[in-house]
Structure 1
Amino acid sequence: MFVDKAKINLKAGKGGDGAVAFRREIYVPAGGPSGGDGGKGGDIIFEVDEGMRTLMDFRYKKHYVASNGEDGKKKNMYGKDGEDLVLKVPPGTIVREEKTGLLIADLVKGGDKKIVAKGGKGGKGNVHFKSSTRQAPGFAIAGEYGDEITVVLELKLIADVGLIGFPNVGKSTILSVVTSANPKIGNYHFTTITPNLGVVKTKYGDSFVLADIPGLIEGAHEGTGLGHEFLRHVERTKLLIHVIDVAALEDRDPMEDFNKINEELKLYSPQLSKKPQIVAANKVDIPQGEENFKSFKEQLKNTGVEVFPISAATNRGLEELFTYVSKKLKEAEETYREEEINEEEKIYKYEKEDKFQFTVGKEDGIFIIEGKFVERLIHSTNFDSMESLSYFQKVLRKRGVIDELKTLGIKDGDTVKIDDVEFEYYD
C-alpha cells in the first residue's frame, strides 16, 4: 500500500538530573561538593533512506519518544547523553508542524537529515552551587524537558517526468506499456488513486523515472476529488506529459480538458504552470480520434507546446514521444530548489515556552502553582536541607511567584501545591 501522509507525535528526551554528592577521599578532610551534571536528552532526527518508498511505517505507530539523559554521578562525573532517535523517511518527505502547517524540513536526497525535536539540557550538579557562604550545598537541579511536537509528514514523489490529465485518459496504460510497472487499470473514473512509478528506457540507452499521477478534476486546487493528493506529487517533476483523450469518448472537449488541467495547476502553484509540458494526444486509433487530433493540434499551434499523436493500446507513437521526452529532459532546468518549494512558504521555528513561565490559582482553599520551571525546582529541592529550602524560596521570590501568591491573598499556614508536593506557606 502506498501511504503518502501521516501524523505523528514526537517527544525528545528529558535531561538527566544533577547529582548531590561530596568528596569522601581519606586524605581530603571536609571534602567539598562533587555532584556531576546530568546528560542531555536524546534528539529526534528525521533522515532520508533511499530504500524507502512510502510512509507506511508511520501509519501504525503514532508516538515516538527519545531516550532521557542519565543522571549525574558522584566524583564530578557527568551522566551519559540520551541516545538520539533517528526516524528514516523516503526521499521527498516534507515535515510540517501540525497546528500551523508551517514547514519544518524538506528531505530530498539520501543522507538529508533534520533535528525536529531537541532533547532537554541536563541539570547541574551540586558542585555548581558552592559559594563562600554555602560550602556544602545539599541540592542540585533537575534536567530540562525535551521538545514535544506533533508533525505531519507528506511524501512528494521524486520523479523526472509526470503523467497528468483527467481520469481515464490512458495514463496508467501508457506507464504499463513503456515501463515494467503494473498499475491497476480499469474503465472508470479515479482508477489510479495512488501514484505509480516506473523507469523508462529509450532505444538510445537513456533512462528516467516516470510517475503516473492520480487523475485530476476541476476544483482540485481547493481539494476537490483527489485534489491536493494529486498536486503534491506533481511539484517535484522536471517535465510534464499532458495526456489528452482526443477521441472524446465521454463527450469531453479535448481543448477544454487541456485548459482546465492547466488552470488547476496554475491556481495551486504558479511554479507548476511554468514546468515544460508535452501533450500526448491519446486514442488516435479510434476513428473520431484521428479527426479530433487535427483540430486539437491546430488550436495549439501558437502555444509552443509539442503535440504527439499516440495510442497507448496499440503502442502507436510511443517511441517517438519518449525519445523526444528524453531529449527535452536533458534540456529542462529543474525549477524546484530545496529552499523554494513555494515562494511564499514560511518556515516553522520551534519556540519553547518561556523558561520561567508559571500560573498560580486557588482551588478548595489550596494555592496551586503550575509550570515546568517550578516542577523542575520542586523536584530539585531537598526538604531536609535548609540550604536547599533557602535556594527554593529565593528562586520563587526572584521569579515573582511569591508576589503572585500574595496578590491572591495567601497567608501564613496556607497550603501550596506544586505538582504532587504540598507544603505550608510561611513568609
Structure 2
Amino acid sequence: MSEDRQLSDRNTNTEPTSDRQAALFGSLVLVLVFLLFFAGGFATHRMLNRRSVVTAAAWPMTVFWEAWDIVEQDFYGEVPPPKVRVYGAIRGSLAVLNDPYTVFLEPQTGEVERDRLSGSYGGIGVDIWRDSEDRIVLNPYPGSPAEVAGVRAGDFLLAVDGHSVLTATVDEVRARLHGEVGTPVVLTLSRPPTPTHPFVLTIVRQEIQVPSVSYRLLDQDPSIGYLQITSFTERTPQEVEEALRSLLDGGATRLILDLRDNGGGLIQPAVDVGDQFLDGGIILYEVRRGRQERAFRARRGGLATEPPLVVLVNGSTASASEMIAGSLQVQGRATLIGEPTYGKGSVQLIFTLSDGSSLHVTSAIWLLPDHRPLPETGLTPDIRVSPGEGLGDAQLDRAIRYLQRGE
C-alpha cells in the first residue's frame, strides 16, 4: 500500500519531464503485469517467480505456483478462468480448518446474505423458487412494487434485464433483482396457461422490509400470545417490542415464543430480544481466542419478564436462537417444548471483500449462563414432542396445554 501511495504522490508532483516519464513508465509496467496476470492466467507468475529469491516465508506459495504451472502446461481439459481458480483456492484453504462455519460466499450469495441480515433491501418484493420443471416461479408480496406493476403469483421469470435466468441459481436471481432503491429492473415473464407468450414488465426498485416476526392471540385461547421469530436481523428487536406491546395490550397473560426453523442471525439483536424476557442476569458468555471472556447481561425492565413462557424448538433451531432458548431454559424463565436443537454454539464474523464476496470466519464460542458450552447434540427440550402428522401442529398444541394446565 505504501508503494502505491508513493507512486501516486510522484505522479501528482511537478517534477522534471524525465522523472514524470519514468514514473509513468513504471506505472504502466505495473498495470501491464497486473493485466497479464489475469488475462494470461496463473502461468504469468512463472516469469516473475524465476527472478525472485525464495524465502522461507514464501516457500508454501512457491509450491502453489509450481503446482499451477504444471496444471497449465499438462492438464488435458480446459483450465478454469482466474477468478474461478482464486475462489477455489480460498475454499480449499478454508477446508483445512475443518470448521463447517468458516466459509467463503461469492458476490451474489454474499449480497443476498447481507440483505437478509439487514432486514431490508432495495428490490421488487417477490418470493422466488424453482418448480419441479426447473422454472423460476415468482410470488409477489402484497402491495409490493412487483404486484403493483402486474406480477402475479405463479408467473415464470425468463430473464432479468435481458439476461436469461435459465441456468442461474436462485441466489443469483435474487441478487439480480436486488439493487439501489429508485433504479429500474426489466423482467421478461410468461404466465400460465400460455407460457409460450412472454411479456416484459419494468419495475422500479423500492425499499423492501422483510419482517422476521409474526404474532397473534391464539384462537384456541385468546389469553395466550403467540410470537414467532424466523431469524435475528437488525430490525428484529423493534419488531419484537411492537409485537409484545400489542399482545399484552390485547389481553395476553401467557406467551409462546416460537423459534422453530430459526437458523440464527445477528447476536446483538438476539440478546436484545432476550432482554424482553429476562429481568437481569446473564444471557450468554462469548469466548474469543486470546481475549477476556465477555458477558452479555440482560437489562432490567423488559416487557415480558413475568408472563409464563414456553419456547418451541426443533432441529433447525440453531446458533443465536439456540443461545436465547438455552439462556431462558437455564435461567428457569421458560419451558422448552419440541425437539432437540441443531447444536451450533459458535460466532462468525462476516467480512465483505473487495469484489463483493464475503468471508464468514468463526471467531468465538458461546457459553450458556451456567458456563456450559452448547452441546453438539443441541439443547434438550424439557418436554419432547414430535411434529406429528397431518395439518395439525402437535408441538403448539402441547405448548397450549402446558400453559393452561401446567403439565
Return the TM-score normalized by structure 1. 0.22
Bigger Cα Rg: 1
Give 1 or 2: higher helix fraction: 2
**More contact order relative to length (CA 8 Å, sep ≥ 6):** 1
Return the TM-score normalized by structure 2. 0.23
